[in-house]
Amino acid sequence: MASYDLSGKNKYYTLYEGIREDILRGAWRAGEKLPAKRTLAAELGVSVVTVQTAYDQLLAEGYISSKERSGYYVCPLDITGRTGKSAPLSADLSAEDKGGAGTGVGAVIADFAKGSAPAELFPFSSWAKLMRAVLSDCGEHLLERVPCDGDTELKCAISAYLCRARGIFVEPERIVIGAGAEQLYGTIVQLIGRDKLYAVENPGYRKISETYMLNGARCAFVDVNADGMDVEGAISLGADVFHVSPAHQFPTGAVMPASARARLIAAAKASGAYIVEDDYDSEFRLVGKPLQNMYALDSDRVIYLNTFSKTLAPSMRMGYMVLPPALYKRYVEMFGRNSCCVPLFEQKTLARMISGGAFERHINRLKNYYRGVHEILLEKLASLSCLNELRDSASGLHFTVKFPSAPFDGSIKERAMELGIRIKCLSDYLLAPRTGCEKTAVVNFSGTTREVALAIAPA
Amino acid sequence: MASYDLSGKNKYYTLYEGIREDILRGAWRAGEKLPAKRTLAAELGVSVVTVQTAYDQLLAEGYISSKERSGYYVCPLDITGRTGKSAPLSADLSAEDKGGAGTGVGAVIADFAKGSAPAELFPFSSWAKLMRAVLSDCGEHLLERVPCDGDTELKCAISAYLCRARGIFVEPERIVIGAGAEQLYGTIVQLIGRDKLYAVENPGYRKISETYMLNGARCAFVDVNADGMDVEGAISLGADVFHVSPAHQFPTGAVMPASARARLIAAAKASGAYIVEDDYDSEFRLVGKPLQNMYALDSDRVIYLNTFSKTLAPSMRMGYMVLPPALYKRYVEMFGRNSCCVPLFEQKTLARMISGGAFERHINRLKNYYRGVHEILLEKLASLSCLNELRDSASGLHFTVKFPSAPFDGSIKERAMELGIRIKCLSDYLLAPRTGCEKTAVVNFSGTTREVALAIAPA
């Protein structure tokens, strides 16, 4: 077994990859015990630390588990990637989902339950080039303290980008840089208060309400219909904050029409509530121009929030929000003595990527790419033998398909798994019980390559 | 005025530095209006955005202020660095402190109110070399998602370091990487609960209680005496969490003796409370060996916490904590689906710096350097004509000096300012009223170079 070639630079990583591959292709079977660290280290001629690090990584990613005083064991394949810390972003697969798992990971051709962009689409070489340039240009300035709201250069770059790409004018000063969406959600609770009621979309992206609640706030789950969050329902609850994604709701794909946006803003104005406009994938409207941002309609009541997870990589851990003047003032009062928790190095690199135009060129390339994937998927669906109702706003990287003739949600996922497709249903994203979300699959193709889309067999 | 040489690469930064220098040396006077952006841009032959960015940076750092529809004005020198977002970490100087400010920043020789290491001590070239190596070795792996508790390689490196340097054995798995101390304090509240009572040291580092309270927790302020936190006082309050820095308390410099540590641990055990052992500057015990960590005495009740702010740079925004098994389990349950908010790139670079030995070599160099600064300061103090009582545990980068004959605290600071020394008193760090902290200056020399120490005139 121990035939890993560890002559390269990063021994532990090579070993980790080798074992992982072997597990995935079934050379190591579930329940099998891995060799003891010392034994493997001696066999491979590497240090015990190298083996330990590789095992730790496999452990962290759920490929193996450890039993005290016994050793390391291979985990069953069907839970790979779902268990523990390294699970995908929305890993809360319901029990019924496990029905199709028997076919094993090896058989999965397409994974529509995952949300991250294929790594090969990231413009790594130009990013690395910018990093090298920043390192040599800024030098020791990179060690300077970054103000709580982020580096001025990045804030200016984002302000100019928002003007060019979204047609909204934002003073650089009012932009706050944060380490990804969750950190910004947490800051919103600290700013507005944890004694307030936060209305979130149902079904929705579970981490929004989870983060609000982790920060001590109360959440109300408001139904999302074809027009986005049920505005009247949300208003009647007397919420203090409305967290919406009007450009393209996840997972329903709903786009909030201008009239609903206006009503929500009027309500927020009347009651002094705030709207969080979560614009997480607005860059990917594949056809036509996006609707005007809610922020453009009322910059006093709307907090505009976006990240670089969809456009660059989730591991980038960078996002930003634009605060209304009153909240920005409070932000500086509360956090003025803190440092921004995103390293200056990453901020400067991103600033240059945006102001040099590479960021927008990358988004355009991505859009073209995804447009191709989207077309292939629609063709495949058209040839699908069972009846289905497609709901696709072409405004982002996911759409929904209803299968009215399916007996229940689990059967859709089972049937998909037989075709090598891992998929989730709207019901998997329910945060509170409601009707109207039955028998609907969510096709999230942000992690799907053209090759994968082509490889899916028509049913 | 507009004679800045902007031929270099980073125009905005050069312009920013030029104006800042001019303000500091008095070429621009307080209240003077800076040229309009367009005028200056035209004069210098650069874009308006370059001038805007430079002005924004000066604004952010408090060198200039903006008046709506009027322009930018130079701020009075004596508030430079204290105002707004970019103020030093503990910028809450009391009103009396302003007494000596008339001499202006230009006259300040030494600043003992600042806590960050001189930038020239940071091993920038070796850090940049490691960054380049990580970039080329890890390549696109740098885009992979980082588990919520951080990169395994860094966790293993810290575990090995803690074993070598502090003699404590910590399983890498139980280490959690975070973006600096404040983020970790916030996580502690989310883990242990905001309905709990957090005992903090008084006087103390204000950000600890501020961050706990921002996260919704209640704080009790417990007096610090010569032996550190008053253990019996803390216990009688029935706190659920004791936040202590037993190795070297800031600002009193107290070191908690073994007996007090044992009593606190026994109390925590009996009541199920947790102890946060904040080891923020333990690397800098200048004489002898540090006391055994509290974590080594009880890894079930003690959370060990440390950052790289003192050893590397505060802008690094990296720290870690070691969680007791029960809390680690809870951490994974609560945050398992989040990503670590420190970029993988910085984590890998630091991991290599630690495992390659460069980190410890750097600490040793720093220690030698600070030992020299410390000696010079003690000599200067010995020659000081007024009576003083020095309290110096030689276990960190600050000590206290009592001036019993001074009429009041403000007069110490005024006299120091006449000698070109900015200093704070124990009373500036009081979080709740108490006695026993009068007429005592805090000499924080972590930001003091040898040259500065030598330049101080004996009184």
What pLDDT does A9 receive? 60
**What per-residue confidence (pLDDT) applies to B104?**
41
How large a percentage of chain A has pLDDT more than 90? 47
**Most confident range, picked from A38-52, A285-299, A433-447, B374-388:** A433-447
- pTM higher than 0.80, yes or no? no
Judged by a CB distance cut-off of 8 A, whether residue A121 touches chain B is no
For A138: left if phi > 0, alpha if psi spans -120 to 50, otherwise beta; the answer is alpha
Cα distances (angstroms) measured from residue B247 to each of A177, A440, B178, B265, B306:
35, 59, 22, 15, 12
- pLDDT tens digits, residue range B243-273? 999 999 999 999 999 899 999 999 999 999 9
The answer to whether the CB atoms of A85 and B313 lie below 8 A apart is no
Q: What is the pLDDT of residue A8?
A: 64
Report the alpha-carbon distance of residue B134 to residue B346 in Å, rounded.
9
Residue B88 confidence class, pLDDT cut points 50, 70, 90: very low
Locate the chain B residue with the closest alpha carbon to A89: B337
Which of 99-118 (B) contact A at CB < 8 A?
116
Residue B121, pLDDT above cutoff 90: no
pLDDT in tens, A216-242: 999 999 999 999 999 999 999 999 999
Of residues A349 and A117, more confidence is placed in A349
Quick check: A276 pLDDT over 60?
yes
Chain B CB within 8 Å of residue A289 CB: no
In which band, very low, low, confident or very high, does the pLDDT at A269 lie, cut at 50, 70 and 90? Answer: very high
Interface of A with B in 349-408 (CB under 8 A): none
Mean per-residue pLDDT over chain B, rounded: 85
Residue B207 has pLDDT above 70, yes or no: yes
Residues in contact with A429: Cβ distance below 8 Å, sequence separation at least 6, in sequence order: A90, A203, A204, A205, A206, A250, A251, A442
Instruction: Identify the band that residue A386 occupies on the pLDDT scale cut at 50, 70 and 90.
Output: low
Asked whether the bond before A325 is cis by omega within 30 degrees of 0, the reply is no
Q: Once rounded to an integer, what is the mean pLDDT over residues A335-358?
A: 92
Per DSSP, helices labelled H in A280-339 are 294-297, 325-335
Of A40-44, A98-102, A349-353, the poorest mean pLDDT is in A98-102
pLDDT over threshold 60, residue B144: yes
| Structure confidence at residue B210 (pLDDT) | 94
Q: Which of residues A16 and B158 earns the better pLDDT score? A: B158
HSE at residue B373, side-chain half, CA atoms within 13 A, is: 27
Q: Which residues of A touch B342 (CB under 8 A)?
A: 179, 317, 343
**pLDDT given at position B62:** 65
Q: Across residues A33-41, what is the average pLDDT?
A: 89
A405 or A289, greater pLDDT: A405
For residue B230, pLDDT over 80 is answered with: yes
What mean pLDDT value characterizes chain A?
85
Contact B179 A179 (CB under 8 A): yes
- What's the whole-number mean pLDDT along residues B126-138? 91
pLDDT at A392: 78
CA nearest A156 in B: which residue?
B53
Tokens encoding B117: 């290491």
Mean pLDDT score, B134-158: 91
Q: What pLDDT shows up at residue A30? A: 79
Asked if A124's CB is within 8 angstroms of B140's CB, the reply is yes
Measured between CB atoms, which of B190, B215, B337 is closest to A89? Answer: B337
User: Residue A29 gets which letter from DSSP?
Assistant: P
Q: Across residues B153-167, what is the average pLDDT?
A: 93
In this predicted structure, the answer to whether residue B361 has a pLDDT above a threshold of 50 is yes
pLDDT interval class at B107 (50, 70, 90):
low
How far is residue A329 from each of residues A175, A191, B172, measured CA to CA in Å?
12, 10, 41
pLDDT in tens, A196-210: 999 999 999 999 999
pLDDT in tens, B110-120: 899 887 777 77
Instruction: Name the A residues in 127-186 with CB < 8 Å from any B CB.
Output: 128, 131-132, 135-149, 152-153, 155-156, 160, 172-173, 179-180, 182-183, 186
Q: What is the pLDDT of residue A384?
A: 66
| Average pLDDT of the segment spanning B437-458 | 88
For range B342-347, the mean pLDDT: 92
CB contact under 8 A, B145 and A116: yes
